[in-house]
Structure 1
Amino acid sequence: MTRPGKKRARASSGAPGGARNEEPGEGGADEAVAFIAEQTAALRKLAERHKLHVLHYLLGMTQLEADEHLRLRSRRKLS
């Protein structure tokens, strides 16, 4: 039992950099941004369907940011 106000320490994963766990298939930042863009598009459609205007707007901004990040990364790779 833990005391109120105290948090348990996380078990060390043994990986350098602390408790940063990478799941199989995580290919780095580019794959993460592509996944975020894809999921954001689906969430944006859901927000629009339910007339959640602010969420629709914010998810649209998130999608634009992810797409821009991917565009700039691919441009740098071509140079």
Structure 2
Amino acid sequence: MTKPARKRARAVTGAQRGSRHEEPGEGGADEAVAFIAEQVAALRKLAERHKLDVLHYLLGMTQLEADEHLRLRTKRKLS
């Protein structure tokens, strides 16, 4: 018996979506980073609760990176 063939999911490319610029209705890069930092914090708590140590560590690094990005962007805007 053979397995049915799977259809490949197409990746959305920049050409199909337009440019890398923001889509209408989306926030800017700062809002995206703030949203990511918030979501990562929740995921990190979940990973910790379930003793998923490597995921907890990696999500912590992601959260640090997002926070650093926001800190630097804020610092540039104040200058």
TM bracket, shorter-chain basis: 0.7 to 0.9
Letter in 1 for 2:53: H
TM-score when scaled to structure 1? 0.73
Q: Deviations over 1:1-50 (max 9, x none)?
A: xxx99887x7x86x6428x77363x2111000000000000000000000
- Corresponding residue number in structure 1 for 2:19: 17
**So what's the TM-score if we normalise by structure 2?**
0.73
Provide the alpha-carbon RMSD of the alignment: 3.1
Give the equivalent residue in structure 2 for 1:27. Answer: 27
Q: Which has the higher helix share?
A: 2
Give percent identity, aligned residues only. 73
5+ long unaligned stretches in structure 1:
none
Matched, 1:58 2:58: yes
Give unpaired runs (5+ residues) of structure 2: 1-5
Q: Which runs of 4+ in 1 moved over 2 A?
A: 4-8, 20-24
SS at match of 2:63: helix
Paired residues, what number? 71
